[in-house]
Amino acid sequence: MSEFWVFGYGSLMWRPGFAHVETQMARLSGYRRSLCVRSFVHRGTEQRPGLVLGLDRGGSCLGLAFRVPDDLKGEVIAYLRERELVTHVYQEKILAIRLANGQRAAALTYVVDRRHVQYAGDLDVETAVAQISGASGMSGRNEEYVLNTLDHLRGIGIRDSLLEAVGERLRATP
């Protein structure tokens, strides 16, 4: 019987939405947290896209890993697919992570598909702020998503300089 982990790097960290029995800080190598996904559903619309986080190639990402009991694995996977694969901008992958306790584990995670129309690529702070400001979708305002994620990252001791710069500009915008 192997352990089933889910890796969260954005809103899954502060709103996982599924039962789990353990949470640990974890690092995913080869991918980085990036505001690189145009949101057509949760934080924007096709007419006025918002901008949300994705795991993009390069670097590494510090996030949270959630251990899910075996008897809930199927239910959690179904929930995550419904939540994360709405427009198929993410690809579901099992990737190696290193847990805070030093152990390596395999974790279910969602990586951005660079070929998808919603992939925004690397954006500078000004462009990201302009895309986020005023956007709203079925899960609420885009600014709220970015600021909640940033506050959660800070609360658990994770620094993200680009996200922090975007957050400072959003907070300063009337």
Task: Write the DSSP string, 77-124.
Answer: HHHHHHHH-SSS-EEEEEEEEEETTS-EEEEEEEEE-TTSTTB--S--
3 is catalytic: no
Inter-residue contact 71 to 62 (CB < 8 Å)? no
Annotated catalytic residue, options 75, 84, 143, 164: 84
Inter-residue contact 55 to 111 (CB < 8 Å)? yes
**Residues 44-56 as b or e (16 or more Cβ within 10 Å = b):** beeeebbbbbbbb
Residues labelled catalytic: 84
